Chain A
Amino acid sequence: MQSLSEIDTTSKRASKAAGFSWGISEEIGKGVRNLELFGLPGIINLNLYLKKIKKNHPEKINKIGKENKNRELCPIYCGVAFLDQCRELETLNKIKFYNVNYPMLILSFINKASEVLGKRILIKFNNSSILINFNKSILLQNLENKTISTVKEVSIEFLKDKNSFPKQDWKELYKLSEETFVEESESLKTQGAGAGLTDND
């Protein structure tokens, strides 16, 4: 079994050999390591993508906006730019990239952005949806293939900070938790806490 350290180093070197700068290659190394750590197919997607771009290096992306179109978009350049600009992009709520190659490779950068921002992020492409939770967990739904060479549209949504459960459930659970509390008698009220009953001095 390859260690994560080997995955990081080899991905970095291979990406440099494929024409990315050292700084971007470092990001790719960490990103692929991150995907593999989460049990996602980082190596296989990177290998296929680097083969694809061997002869024609992908175009870099300009500043990311709400809608990002090109004939083909590189998941690496998009991912790195997304991470770099994530604080500004958060205000857009929802962003779309069109014609993205090997979209699995973008996940690790969004995963890191989720940690940086402290926000959950929802990614959708084809029929799949991927919920990114602060670089702590990634929930996949309907991901049919380990490798997808191109998708027409990737949507990325910064989720609002809200509970994932109904109020009623919370109320009921809280009520149950109250059963661990002690009803205070008069003497406990005066002796059980540190401060005085009146503190107007």
Chain B
Amino acid sequence: MKLSRLGSFHQSKLSFLRSFIREFKDWDYERNLFDLDENGYGTAIYSFSKNQRSYSLVCFAQHINPEERSDRVIATKWDAAFVLHDGVPTKEDIKRLKENVPKQEVGRVSCKELTLSRANKSVRAFDHVVDSLSQGKQPNKKLLNKVGYLYRTTAVYGSGKFGLADRFRIKDRKEIYGPFRLEMMLVYIVRQFTFDQVNHIAKSKNPDKAIELDLNIARNLGIGNSTGLGMAPFIVNHPTLLHNWIYCREKALKEIRSLEKVEINELNFFKECLAKSKTSINSWVTDSKYQNNKINSLKNGLVKFDQFLKNECSVKQKYLWNKIYTWAENNLEDECLEYVVSMMMEPYDAIIDPLINNMSSEEDEHFTIPAYKKVSDLKKILENNYKSIIKIDFNEKNSNFNFWFISKNKEEPRVANRYEELGAELEQPLAIARDIKKLYEKIIKEEPANTIAEFLLKNDEVRHVVRRAFIVDQFPYSEIQDNTIGASLVPIDMLRLKLSFFGAVKFDPRSDKWLRINMYQGAPLSHEMKTSNDTWVYNVVN
């Protein structure tokens, strides 16, 4: 798929925030420790437990000066830092974590820890809520709706980073078969911490007058997140995972389009979700021209779609969903088409639920190159799977415009103009389209009957893309069919692709390289999880 299409994906029933709540709704949630001072600084611990298993979020909140507060990855201090511990932490664990977790990338955690994160306050929202509550008043909903959260996370790490547990240690646990489940758990509990913290500070400020944050207001708040380029290489470096995500989405769509009979309650449920979601779209505020064009395209598309739905769709028609999809494909732009696809999944738990556990992947299982195959096999794979890529002329300046690199300061991925910046010789292997083209040019000159092993003896500089080509042959959705170093690259499309699968909403690009989003807005509060329904994402009130 093209990046512009992938960058138009929306949250859906397949999204990881939603599947996390479905999986953990019957677990026992508890606040085990809440040791904050009157300013809200200190340590808190929350846990989810079931049978013999516990996951504990350890939170450290601290004072930072306003000039130290930055969402950028170069920051070294944050209002709060979090780590998800496997089991119940001992006193020694808490002491160790207290010394390391607030330092984030320069601290070390152990294989007893699973995910790591930090967050900053949205100062205007946070202070306003504390002031209001301490004076016995609920905060201004208009202001809160505009912001949407009290805290923004600026990174969530997992899978072996900074000493965290490797995935192989925990991957066989049934409750975390779905991707990013423990990252989603961390963010969910952080949201609850933010509510507990404002209530606590307000009460400390004015014990006689303070009230607690209204539950309806709290539910309408999520957790913000500032996301930079770090996510973009992830998509390229996890091809089979990307495949599984998109494959499950396509499989769901195919099964829904194949339904001959659509029940009236299914159609009504779809319409209900669509109507509710439109309220939410009106709260998507951004200064980004790029995103505003997308939002307008969505809104205009939905007006057309409403008319079509009203005038031309009835459950009396066979294969109604197929008719709806075909119409949408022919009449709507990507942004609205993908929105309709997400909505079409809503009535179908039976189709979606079995797919969730297929959305993880073991990349290493597909790492070994089948070097016994022939050059002619590889040529065929390249011609079948990279049709548009092998037509790109990389001698053109614009095709070869950017390079991806890892910054020495923060060990984070960056992208830069090859012709203006230094460092292109240290380029990361993320120029897949260019390197595939290079491989193709070599392959067509090679003896077709030679084995790949023989080819690689003379051409190891293209080994990384030989591996990819064989992966793509098995996993057709594993490759972004675009030039990730071209001048027209919009990196935030890569971020949005991943974030949409997370279940993020309110995409707010702050440049073409980073954006803010909201997660869990409208989600059940921790004490409501057991009785929650799955359509909470449409409960956002404006």
Contacts and interface: CB of A to CB of B under 8 A. Distances in A.
A196 interface: no
Given A61-B457, A62-B457, A63-B457, A22 B463 contact: yes
A23 B467 contact: yes
B464 A84 contact: no
A13 B411 CA distance: 12
Interface stretch (A3-11, A98-106, A157-165, A178-186): A3-11
Interface stretch (B138-146, B198-206, B378-386, B448-456): B448-456
A24 B452 CA distance: 14
B467 A87 contact: no
Contacts of A21: 460-461, 463-464
B303 to A, nearest CB: 48
Interface of B: 110-111, 159-168, 364, 367-369, 371-372, 406, 429, 451-454, 456-457, 460-467
B464 A5 contact: no
Given A21-B461, A23-B464, A61-B457, A3 B452 contact: no
Given A3-B111, A24-B460, A24-B463, A85 B160 contact: no
A1 B111 CA distance: 8
A112 B367 CA distance: 11
B449 to A, nearest CB: 14
Interface string A107-122: 0000010001000000
Q: Which of A4, A22, A61 has the most CB of B within 10 A?
A: A22
Nearest to B428: A22
A3 B460 contact: no
Interface of A: 1-6, 13, 21-24, 26-27, 30, 60-63, 80-81, 83-85, 87-88, 112, 116
A5 B161 contact: yes
B433 to A, nearest CB: 15
A80 B367 CA distance: 13
A27 B368 CA distance: 9
Nearest to B466: A23
A6 B105 CA distance: 13
A83 to B, nearest CB: 7
A2 B465 CA distance: 29
Contact of A84 (B159, B406, B452): B452
A63 B454 contact: yes
B168 A4 contact: yes
The list of the 4 closest CB pairs from A to B, nearest first, reads A23-B463, A5-B160, A3-B160, A84-B371
A63 B371 CA distance: 13
A3 B369 contact: no
Contacts of B372: 87-88
Main secondary structure of the interface of A (DSSP, over half): helix
Contacts of B454: 63
A161 B453 CA distance: 25
20 contacts: A3-B163, A3-B165, A4-B160, A4-B168, A21-B460, A21-B464, A22-B461, A23-B465, A24-B460, A24-B463, A30-B367, A60-B460, A61-B457, A80-B460, A81-B453, A83-B368, A83-B371, A84-B457, A88-B451, A116-B368
A87 B371 CA distance: 9
A12 to B, nearest CB: 10
Contacts of A60: 457, 460
B160 to A, nearest CB: 3
A85 B163 contact: no
Nearest to A29: B367
A192 to B, nearest CB: 37
A5 B159 contact: yes
Given A21-B460, A61-B457, A88-B372, 10 more contacts: A4-B160, A4-B168, A5-B160, A21-B464, A23-B465, A81-B453, A81-B457, A85-B451, A112-B368, A116-B368
Contacts of B460: 21, 23-24, 60, 80
A8 to B, nearest CB: 8
A130 B36 CA distance: 57
Nearest to B158: A5
Contact of A22 (B166, B429, B456): B429
Nearest to A8: B160
Contacts of B110: 1
A85 B453 contact: yes
B310 to A, nearest CB: 52
Contacts of B368: 83, 112, 116
B158 to A, nearest CB: 10
Contacts of B167: 5
B472 to A, nearest CB: 15
Contacts of B429: 22
Contacts of A116: 368
Given A21-B463, A23-B463, A63-B457, A6 B163 contact: yes
Contacts of B166: 3-5
